[in-house]
């Protein structure tokens, strides 16, 4: 039996050492490889030096062009069984082309996180207002929900977002597939080899600085939380790691205050294992937070806001404390940093969370089953999804005709 072909259209090239989104994409690639798919990864984005070498794992990388009919010939020749769009913006650009050239291909959207939720929370914070439905039902939501309807299946990383889509936006559950991070089980040998409480020191925060929630969190940490921690723990240092270091982030570096901007690290595990406590004071965002996964995998308890913790622990206990008030956040960070018994207890909760909630064996099998079922039932699924058909109708295809206009303009 011939292998099925999967085309992934990436918003960017995967950078697993730079972002949670990059790690997520590599997990998806590994899941489909486990299902014996022949994978092509295409992107119009420029590759950076942090981009993963896809050739090394048997994935074919292809550079494509935005707003250009050369993609039509490429996708028709490839003739994939499944096309996966990396975020709704990619589906807007290429979804209609795939639908025209390969109408039988299953179209999957990986939302990464709900952009509308993140944008709405960001605006509410800016306005100093409580987040509510008025902020959720924003212009980004209109585009993102339309993209979900145009797709045959959407991968949703958080249970919270699954519930939001079903209750607030009334999305048919058959169009959604809950798929969190897919991680290796943490075994005893790994745990035993990790540095112990007394072998660690200082605080850590980590995250891609191109991501607005991360910059805001570091600013909030420096101005409202770190002074309170430093007052009680004057010898401790705050180490901040992240890719794409900008000048405005560099300006937060202050050796006198022991607030140290370290920038990109090639080995997140190493720096996380050296730290005693991870701090994640995110004030807006969506999806699951890769920094908390890194912390749990490396036995580093965390203090986090409720937005940072969202969707992570389910009914299990957190690997630290969840606090939104800056003074309480600082107090819990100090307590966790100085209490070895408490620290060890919280560390174990992290291992338990990884093993019980993010099993790569369980969720690889689930996504392959859901995709194969959707392929078999593709005609019936599309008949039931009338709104999706409606949104493919020519009078509602503004992105299609804008793309065609740009292509003609570029020719001239």
The per-residue pLDDT for range 21-65, each reduced to its tens digit, is 999 999 999 999 999 999 999 999 999 889 999 999 999 999 999
pLDDT (mean) for 373-398: 87
CA 376, 7, 22: angle at the middle one, nearest 5? 115
CB < 8 Å & 24+ apart, contacts of 46-52: 47/13, 48/13, 48/15, 50/15, 50/17, 50/18, 50/243, 50/264, 51/13, 51/14, 51/15, 52/13, 52/14, 52/15, 52/16, 52/22, 52/26
CB 280 within 8 A of CB 267: no
Is 166 a residue whose pLDDT tops 60? yes
- The alpha carbon of 252 is separated from its chain's Cα centroid by a whole number of angstroms, namely 25
Say how far apart CA 262 and CA 377 lie, in whole Å: 50
Is 266 a residue whose pLDDT tops 80? yes
Query: Sign of the C-alpha dihedral, residues 18, 19, 23, 28?
Result: negative
- The alpha carbon of 185 is separated from its chain's Cα centroid by a whole number of angstroms, namely 20
Query: Sign of the C-alpha dihedral, residues 121, 127, 130, 134?
Result: negative
Say how far apart CA 302 and CA 347 lie, in whole Å: 9
Task: Tell me the pLDDT tens digit for each residue of 81-136.
Answer: 999 999 999 999 999 999 999 999 999 999 999 999 999 999 999 999 999 999 99
Q: Taking the CB of residue 409, how many other CB atoms lie within 10 A of it?
A: 9
Query: Sign of the C-alpha dihedral, residues 122, 403, 386, 383?
Result: negative
Residue reference for tokens 């969506």: 286
pLDDT at 395: 60
Task: Tell me the pLDDT tens digit for each residue of 305-363.
Answer: 999 999 999 999 999 999 999 999 999 999 999 999 999 999 999 999 999 999 999 99
pTM value surpassing 0.85: yes
Say how far apart CA 197 and CA 211 lie, in whole Å: 31
Q: Taking the CB of residue 380, how many other CB atoms lie within 10 A of it?
A: 9
Mean pLDDT, the chain, rounded, equals 95
Say how far apart CA 276 and CA 259 lie, in whole Å: 15
Say how far apart CA 381 and CA 71 lie, in whole Å: 26
pLDDT at 396: 61
Give me 201's structure tokens.
């020191």
Is 1 a residue whose pLDDT tops 60? no
- The alpha carbon of 372 is separated from its chain's Cα centroid by a whole number of angstroms, namely 24
Residue 372: which residues within 8 A CB-CB, separation 6 or more? none
48: left (phi over 0), alpha (psi -120 to 50) or beta: beta
pLDDT at 122: 97
pLDDT at 405: 78
pLDDT (mean) for 225-252: 96
Confidence class of residue 150 from pLDDT cuts 50, 70 and 90? very high
CB 209 within 8 A of CB 243: yes
pLDDT at 229: 98
Say how far apart CA 231 and CA 301 lie, in whole Å: 21
């Amino acid at each position: 039996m011939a292998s099925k072909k999967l085309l992934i259209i990436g918003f960017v090239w995967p950078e697993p050492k730079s972002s949670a989104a990059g790690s997520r994409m590599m997990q998806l690639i590994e899941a489909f490889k486990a299902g014996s798919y022949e994978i092509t990864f295409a992107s119009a984005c420029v590759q950076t030096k942090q981009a993963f070498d896809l050739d090394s794992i048997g994935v074919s990388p292809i550079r494509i062009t935005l707003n250009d009919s050369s993609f039509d010939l490429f996708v028709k020749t490839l003739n994939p069984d499944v096309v996966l769009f990396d975020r709704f913006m990619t589906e807007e650009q290429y979804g209609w082309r795939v639908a025209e050239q390969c109408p039988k291909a299953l179209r999957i959207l990986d939302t990464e996180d709900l952009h509308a939720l993140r944008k709405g929370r960001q605006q509410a914070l800016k306005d100093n207002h409580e987040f509510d439905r008025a902020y959720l039902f924003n212009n980004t939501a209109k585009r993102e929900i339309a993209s979900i309807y145009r797709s045959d299946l959407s991968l949703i990383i958080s249970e919270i977002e699954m519930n939001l889509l079903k209750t607030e936006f009334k999305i048919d559950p058959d169009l959604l597939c809950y798929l969190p991070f897919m991680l290796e089980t943490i075994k005893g040998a790994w745990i035993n080899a990790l540095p112990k409480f007394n072998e660690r020191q200082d605080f850590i925060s980590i995250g891609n600085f191109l991501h607005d929630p991360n910059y805001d969190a570091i600013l909030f940490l420096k101005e409202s939380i770190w002074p309170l921690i430093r007052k009680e723990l004057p010898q401790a240092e705050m180490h901040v790691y992240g890719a794409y270091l900008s000048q405005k982030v560099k300006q937060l570096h202050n050796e006198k205050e022991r607030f140290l901007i370290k920038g990109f690290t090639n080995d997140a595990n190493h720096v996380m294992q050296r730290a005693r406590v991870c701090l994640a004071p995110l004030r807006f965002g969506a999806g699951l937070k890769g920094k908390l996964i890194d912390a749990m995998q490396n036995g580093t308890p965390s203090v986090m806001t409720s937005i940072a913790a969202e969707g992570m622990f389910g009914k299990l206990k957190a690997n630290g404390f969840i606090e939104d008030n800056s003074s309480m956040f600082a107090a819990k960070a100090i307590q966790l940093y100085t209490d070895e018994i408490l620290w060890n207890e919280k560390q174990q909760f992290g291992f338990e969370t990884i093993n019980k909630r993010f099993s790569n064996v369980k969720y690889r099998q689930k996504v392959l089953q859901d995709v194969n079922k959707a392929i078999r039932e593709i005609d019936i699924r599309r008949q039931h999804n009338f709104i999706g058909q409606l949104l493919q109708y020519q009078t509602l295809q503004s992105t299609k005709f804008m793309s065609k206009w740009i292509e003609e303009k570029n020719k001239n």
